[in-house]
Structure 1
Amino acid sequence: MSSSDIFIGEIIGTAVLILLGAGVVAAVVLKRSKAQGAGWVAIAFGWGFAVMTAVYIAGPLSGAHLNPAVTLGIAITSGDWSNVPVQMAGELIGAMVGAFLAWLTYYGQFKAHLADPEVVPPPLDEGLVDERSAPNAGPVLGIFSTGPEIRNVWQNLTTEIIGTLVLVLAVLTMGLNDSGKGLGVLGGLIVALVVVSIGFSLGGPTGYAINPARDLGPRIVHALLPMRNKGGSDWGYAWVPVVGPLIGAAIAAGIYNIAFA
């Protein structure tokens, strides 16, 4: 694979991943969506199918890492760091493209949702501050990126480390193709099911980012998009779903090298 193929493949694959993943969350959350209220099961399966679709699309071009944590884990175990910057850049750009496309797809629903008085509280009198009606995270941020149900930075970081450890260890032990640099045909399905399992079992505390690009790229798009009443992008938390998955990936690679290599 050439560097240009890898770059393009990671952009396309990660864009599809985020388009379908953010799309299922938008479908469940936004008012006037036909799937509103479908719940966590729909979200977990939606993200799993998003992974599967993106892997099969991008696999022939780039090996379909689609995740800087996966890229890091494979680089540590293989010792090949030559394409890591290209892969990670493609993943971040692709995540931003996918988030933008999800916003376009649900443009009308975003407008309706953010204009609904049940969602957006009325403005306070000048000089008053109410933490409950002016939260740091906006009413649609969860469509773009993750956030904790209980804000405890060490628990949140640990949750992301553990979830990503499971994902990357699964990729390394079950999902790689014969070259050891990407997901094989069966590996794409296996990893998709692992993502569903992580969503069901480990996703409750933080929303299971388990992918730095998946969280950071859409969070940047949320900050840039012209959405009235969207609220803040919660930058104080943004480092957790970036650092946690990278730590989890490094630990998974270490376990793999000790126990499986």
Structure 2
Amino acid sequence: MTYPLAIRLAAEFIGTAIMVLLGNGSVANVDLKGTKGEHGGWILISLGYGAGVMIPALIFGGISGNHINPAFTLGLAFSGLFPWHEVLPYITVQLLGAFVGQAIVVLAYKPYYNMTTNPDSILGTFSTIDNAHSRFNGFINEFVGTYILVFAALGITKAPFFNNNLGTAHLALGFLVMTLVASLGGPTGPALNPARDLSPRILHALLPLKNKSDSHWHYAWVPVVAPILAGILAVFTYKNVFLIWHP
């Protein structure tokens, strides 16, 4: 069954909002001063982001495809697996959903933002920062992580192994993201998704938070460009190596 575009856009909006809310919410719980999860560690963040992707996938995977990521949408479109006339609407609602999801994080954690004096800890609950202050290192990290994310997501959802049980496939996406954050999250965050980074960064720039500093716009292009290029290459690779052999 193909759902009307408006319904699919609603799914993409809500799904992206949930992803950012649960993912960046876990970062806020760990990094902001005074929360019950303060210093909870990277495993807590990995679990938050894994569930943040898995839950929308289970809700919306059969409705919109649960892209919730412009890099995935563009990657599919460049390989002819998604119609170009729907790309801009999908990306628009993904960006808006990420903005709303982040706004809810701020509302939920506002007292703890006020107590936190480290501006990098505040920014880190919105968007990514390369810990080595290297755009080159950040680009490599985001490119490799997103390539694995998109390639594996296609493999999980398109593989014959899951033909009769796509629910299990979408469940596996949560473990995929959890593992990526645990294994490759140290250098940058990571974003692996332009909407997850750009929209919250814009909100960070707009909000009058007590102890924030600049929004690191000099770095902001990295978690946008690297995931998009990786997504295009990952879909192209999977399609031309594996999908052509589907019966």
Q: What is the TM-score when the length of structure 2 is the normalising length?
A: 0.90
Partner in structure 2 of residue 32 of structure 1 = 34
| 1:62 counterpart SS class | coil
The residue that corresponds to 1:205 in the other structure is: 187
What is the match of residue 20 of structure 2?
A: 18
Whether contact under 8 Å (2:146, 2:193) holds in the other structure is yes
Flag structure 2 segments of 5+ consecutive residues without an equivalent: none
Aligned length: 236
Aligned to 1:46: 48
Q: Equivalent residue of 2:217, what SS?
A: coil
> How far does residue 90 in structure 1 lie from its aligned partner after superposition?
0.8
Deviation string 1:206-248 (CA, Å, 9 cap, x unpaired) is 1111000000011011111121221111000000000000011
Q: Note if contact 2:20-2:52 (Cα within 8 Å) is conserved in structure 1.
A: yes
Q: Does 1:226 align with 2:229?
A: no
Match of 1:65 in 2: 67
Moved more, 222-231 or 36-45: 222-231
1:152 CA drift (Å): 2.1
Corresponding position of 1:245: 227
Counterpart AA for 1:223: A
The answer as to whether partners of 1:156 and 1:206 remain within 8 angstroms in 2 is: yes
Q: Does 1:88 align with 2:91?
A: yes
For residue 130 of structure 2, give the secondary structure of its aligned residue in structure 1: coil
Secondary structure of 2:102's match? helix
**Cα pair 1:139 1:231 within 8 Å, conserved:** no
Letter of the 2:55 partner, please give it: T
Mean Cα displacement is larger for which, 74-83 or 221-230?
A: 74-83
Task: Please give the alpha-carbon distance, in whole angstroms, between the structure 2 residues aligned to 1:45 and 1:139.
Answer: 19
- Is it true that 1:108 corresponds to 2:111 in the alignment? yes
Query: How far, CA to CA, are the matches of 2:149 and 2:111 in structure 1?
Result: 35
2:188 alignment partner, SS class: coil
Q: Within the alignment, does 1:174 sit opposite 2:156 as a pair?
A: yes
Shift of 1:257: 2.4
Deviations 1:159-191 (A, max 9, x none): 11110000000111112599xxxx942222111
1:260 aligns with 2:219: no
Return the alpha-carbon distance in structure 2 between the equivalents of residues 177 and 257 of structure 1.
11
2:204 & 2:210 partners in 1: Cα distance? 11
Structure-2 separation of matches of 1:32 and 1:93: 29
Distance 1:90 1:97 in 2: 10
Residues 82 and 185 (structure 1), Cα distance of their counterparts in 2 relative to 1, 3 Å cut: farther
Matched, 1:217 2:199: yes
Q: In 2 relative to 1, CA 185–111 (structure 1 residues): closer, same or farther, beyond 3 Å?
A: same
CA contact (8 A) 2:73 2:82 kept: no
Distance in 1 of aligned mates of 2:232 and 2:58: 25
Secondary structure of 1:83 counterpart: helix
CA distance in 1, matches of 2:230, 2:60: 24
What is the alpha-carbon distance in structure 2 between the residues aligned to residue 177 and residue 213 of structure 1?
Answer: 27
CA shift, 1:27, in A, is: 0.5
* d(CA) in 2 for partners of 1:79, 1:49: 26
| d(CA) in 2 for partners of 1:79, 1:203 | 29
